[in-house]
Homo-oligomer: A and B are copies of this chain.
Amino acid sequence: MATLVGVDDPRDPRLVDYTDLTDVSLRRVREPAEGLFLAEGEKVVRRALDSGYAPRSLLMARKWWDGLRDVVEPHDCPVYLADDVLLEQVTGYRVHRGALASMQRRPLPLLDDVLATARRVVVLEDLVDHTNVGAVFRNAAALGMDAVLVSPECADPLYRRSVKVSMGSVLAVPWTRADPWPGTLHRLAELGFSTYALSPDPAGADLRTLEIPDRVAVVLGTEGEGLSSAALAACTDRVRIPMAAGVDSLNVAAASAVTFFALGQA
C-alpha cells in the first residue's frame, strides 16, 4: 500500500533518486549503477506500472496524486508530495508535468528469449542521442516491430528522455543489449534473420523493391558516422532508402520509420 509523505527539505536523503536530473553525464552513469530509471508524467508512469515495473518511490506535486492514485496505491512504496519550488530545487528543472516515479530496473532478458518468436527486429549500434533512441522505439512499436537490440555502447533506452520521447514504448517493446558486438549480428544470421545494414551506399539494395524475407533485422548506425565497418561486414545485406539527389541522409529516427513501414508488418 502506497504511503503519502509530505517533504519540504530539498536535501532530504529520501529524495536522492531525483537529484540533479538535468546533469545527463552524471545521471546516465548513476541510474544503471543504482538499478533505477525515471518515469515522468502521468501517462508514462502509468505505462511503466502497467508493464509490471516496480516503483521505488514517486515524487510529485499534490495535484497529480488523484490522477495516479488507482495505479500507484497497490504498490508498497512512498509517494513524496512536494510543492513546485521544492520539486525544482531537487530535480534542477521545472517539472511541468508534475509527477516523477523512480522505478526499479529489471534484469535484461536473454537474447534468444527476445528473439524466440520475433520476425522483425531493430538493432541500434552506438546511438548517442537519447531522443533518437526513444523515437526509434516509438516508431518500432507503432509500425509493428517485435523487438529491439541495442549495442553495448548505445545510449540507454531507459534514460528519462528516451522513455519520454518513446511515449513509454521502451517499457513495452521487448529489448536487450546486443552483447557481444558485433558478434550478435552473426547470431541473428544463425537464427535465420536477414540482417539489413541500413546505409546511404548507392550499391545497397533498394528498400522499395526488395523481396522481404520472413525474418529481418534492421541494423541502424550512429547519427554522424553510420554503421561501423565491423557491423557492416557482419550484416547479410546492405539496404538503402531511395533518396532525392544531392540531399543529406534522413536522420536515424526518420530512416527507421520508413524502413519499418516498408517491412510491412503493421
Contacts and interface: CB of A to CB of B under 8 A. Distances in A.
A167 B250 CA distance: 10
Contacts of A249: 142
Given A258-B258, A264-B208, A244 B135 contact: no
B266 A142 contact: no
Interface in A32-91: none
Interface residues of A, number: 28
A254 B253 contact: yes
Contacts of A167: 248
Given A142-B247, A142-B249, A248-B142, A266 B242 contact: yes
A241 interface: yes
A143 interface: yes
Interface in A242-264: 242-244, 247-251, 253-255, 257-258, 261-262, 264
A217 interface: no
Contact of A247 (B141, B241, B250, B257): B141
Interface string A196-226: 0000000000001000000000000000000
Nearest to A43: B248
Given A248-B142, A248-B167, A266 B254 contact: no
A255 to B, nearest CB: 8
Nearest to A145: B244
A266 B255 CA distance: 14
A143 B257 contact: no
Closest 6 CB pairs of A and B: A254-B257, A258-B261, A144-B244, A142-B247, A257-B257, A142-B243
Given A138-B250, A138-B251, 6 more contacts: A135-B251, A142-B247, A143-B243, A143-B258, A169-B247, A243-B266
